[in-house]
Amino acid sequence: MNRHFPHCADAVRKAGAPCLRRLSATLAAALLAAPLSACDDRSAVSLKRATFVRTEIVRPRDRQTSVTLTGEVQARFHADLSFRVSGHVIERLADVGAHVAAGQVLARIDPKEQQAELDAATAALAASESQLLVAKAAFMRQNDLLSKGFTTRPAFDRAQEGLGNAEGVLEAAKAQLGIAKDVLGYTELRADAAGVITARNLEVGQVVQAAQPVFTLERDGDRDAVFDVHEAMFFRDPEDDSVRRSITRPLTRNERQVALVLVSNRKVTATGYVREISPAVDPKSATVRVKVAIENPPPAMTLGSAVAGTTKWKSAREIILPWTALTAIGSTPAVWVVDPASKTASLKPVAIDRYESGAIAIETGLEPGERVVVDGGKLLSIGQSVTYDEDPP
């Protein structure tokens, strides 16, 4: 203390302890002020320090987009088969996956009731034939007596009327017999066309009602690949007609080419065109069902096979950025852009055309030549200084 503060040493000797306490307080205040001022200096320096980010220059480029979806092979035409009469199932002759021929018996119900109706109709026909013979004999007798003058005209008229009624009853009996025979045939359920059974809803011993669907038959012939497609895809223009060389007939305005490949065997391929688009959107999946007609389907594309369908759209100039460039202003999509003069960052709202795997397509909001932050945007604030590597020439 004598070396650094000689005047204080004399004061201490003269004043004693009070001066020493004041001196200690002064030294403590000076020591505390020094690190605090140094901390303020470092804060000022850190606010001015620029953040390093990775950027890209906005360069629109021509790009042909495509989409691949997975669907299922289905028959163009199918039918729900059912018995025309009610009854007790006694035999089932087909199962799911079976290929059946036209007219093949698929199931039978107990024909006892229908057989009884047939027997009754047969007996009624025999009785009608006997009544007709009696009516004919009565008419001929009255006709002969009338010609000889031994009967009256009213008696002859009654005989003639009886003959007409007997003939009508006979015709009705014949019709009833035909119906009974048909009903007996309805106890056998037959395939109306060749195809594959894809659903079954009956078992032996079950009682089925008339018109209750018991089999679903996918008919042989034309095949469709069925897809559930997001509705936004319908607002794009299809690929130019000049590339449609594999279709064997001209496509209409609303038809689009689709390349098909079997999921289980990528070597099995086919070409199709959009045949039908559902007018309604599925409320659960927000998709639209699209049916693609398969041109000359290969045998390996059996019913129920999973297929991948790919379609392309016309090339267009697009701005594609990595998904890491995307941020938001509230609920609005945005990206960080860098002012080349001041090298400061600012947020700019954009409209997203679509989302892809690892990338986003910008519809509006950016201009060619703007510099966009694609990595490091989470560390930025509006007006913050940034540094980045210059793009190679």
State the Cα–Cα distance between residues 176 and 171, nearest whole angstrom: 9
pLDDT tens for 243-279 read: 344 444 444 544 578 899 999 999 999 999 888 888 8
pLDDT, residue 90, reads: 96
pLDDT, residue 361, reads: 87
pLDDT tens for 334-349 read: 999 999 889 899 999 9
What is the pLDDT confidence band of residue 21, given thresholds at 50, 70 and 90? low
pLDDT tens for 41-98 read: 444 444 457 889 999 999 888 766 677 889 999 999 989 999 999 999 999 999 998 9
Summarize the confidence of residues 13-23 as an average pLDDT: 47
Q: Mean of the per-residue pLDDT values for the chain?
A: 82
pLDDT, residue 48, reads: 56
* Phi/psi-derived region of residue 296, left when phi > 0, alpha when psi is between -120 and 50, beta in every other case: left
Sign, Cα dihedral of 131, 132, 137, 143 = positive
The DSSP element (H or E) to which 140 belongs, if any, is helix 112-148
Burial of 252 (0-12, 13-18, 19+ CB in 10 A): exposed
HSE, side-chain direction, 13 A CA sphere, residue 285 = 10
pLDDT, residue 237, reads: 57
Summarize the confidence of residues 221-247 as an average pLDDT: 66
Quote the tokens at residue 261.
Answer: 């490949």
Stated pTM of the model: 0.57
pLDDT tens for 96-143 read: 989 999 999 999 999 999 999 999 999 999 999 999 999 999 999 999
Summarize the confidence of residues 288-312 as an average pLDDT: 91
